[in-house]
Amino acid sequence: MAAAKNQAATQTNTGKPGVKHFAKSYGNVIIFVAVWLYGMLFIENFIGIENGINIITQGAIAAICCLGMTFVLMTGGIDLSVGYLVGFCAYIFGYCTVMRGMPVALAIIITLLVGAFFGLINGLLVQMLKIPAFIVTLGSGYIIYGIAQIFSNGSAITNLPPAVLAVGRAKFFGLSSTVWIMLLVSVVCFFILHKSTYGRALTSVGLNPAASGLSGINASFTTIAVYVICGTCSALGAVLMAARVNNCVCSMGGTDFTFTVITAAVLGGASLFGGVGTVWGSLLGVMTIYTIQNILGLLSVNYYMYTAVQSIIILAAIIFENVKNRVIQ
């Protein structure tokens, strides 16, 4: 016993376990701070309240979708249909408000239900038929995009009513309604993921599905529900995106948006192997991605370079996750 205490004291004094633990638990914070320090030291016009608010506003919609993706990643799954669903739901929202003249509240409800429905389909296929989530959601994404193109005939809906535009553009205390809605969704997701019985069940299912079933957790419901949550978050993001840009077209979102959402979640600490993920980490991941995008924009870097940088980031994040899980115990 004394030897164990002495060894623990020695380790504490050397600081190695503490450093390892910090690197494992707060690697996303280190990356975020490093990106901001680079911007502050080397990028002109980066420092400023206006630019900071701009970064938060630009990343708010992706943050909402990223939170939905975090729930899916917690089960060890993935949803590659998010971007396509955003485009389809954006058109549905425009169709309901402009073409059918529905009240904004009713149009939002219908759009959210459409997102939840496709999320439910994904969840049922993954859980009940035991088809890999990668295959299911990739296929459903292309199906959703095809349905969207047929339904819209490739056209766009513009000139949304002022009441619709206010959903994503109204400002309160200097921040747009999109940011406030993102913060509200974040609070709800925080309580679901970190303070509820479902959140604990979700972590258990992600870490060990077989053991969670033996402990009385309904793994099927838990898994299906995360895809419904992700689909609903995607639909909400679509509503805000359509309102912000005053345009509803099926090509909104797509593969690039899906890739951004997944990158942000992984960069924020969510594990691609399930069981690990936090609300604050995913938000931090989104802000890191959009800070990098902002820096590249200030440097006048073209879009293709940004795509390459983003690809390097997610690859580095995956490598770091594998290394830290094997080396840092």
DSSP string, 9-32: HHHHHHTHHHHHHHHHHSHHHHHH
pLDDT tens, the chain, 329 aa long: 444 444 444 444 444 455 555 555 667 788 888 888 988 888 888 888 888 899 999 999 999 999 999 999 999 899 999 999 999 999 999 999 988 889 999 999 999 999 999 999 999 999 988 889 999 999 999 999 999 999 888 888 888 888 888 888 888 888 899 999 999 999 999 999 999 988 888 888 888 877 777 777 888 899 999 999 999 999 999 999 999 988 888 888 888 889 889 988 988 888 888 888 889 999 999 999 899 888 888 887 777 777 787 677 667 766 766 666 555 55
At 250 the pLDDT is 87
Instruction: State the amino acid at position 61 in one-letter form.
Output: I
At 59 the pLDDT is 93
Burial of 131 per CB tally in 10 Å (0-12, 13-18, 19+): middle
At 68 the pLDDT is 95
pTM, whole model, 2 decimals? 0.87
Rounded Cα distance, 300 and 302, in Å = 6
Quick one: tokens of 83?
Answer: 């971007």
How many CA within 13 A on the CB side of residue 213?
A: 6
At 325 the pLDDT is 56
At 8 the pLDDT is 45
> Tokens 């990158």 sit at which residue?
263
Rounded Cα distance, 85 and 111, in Å = 10
Could you say which DSSP state residue 275 is in?
Answer: S
Neighbours of 279 (CB within 10 A): 24
Neighbours of 44 (CB within 10 A): 8
Quick one: tokens of 258?
Answer: 């899906």
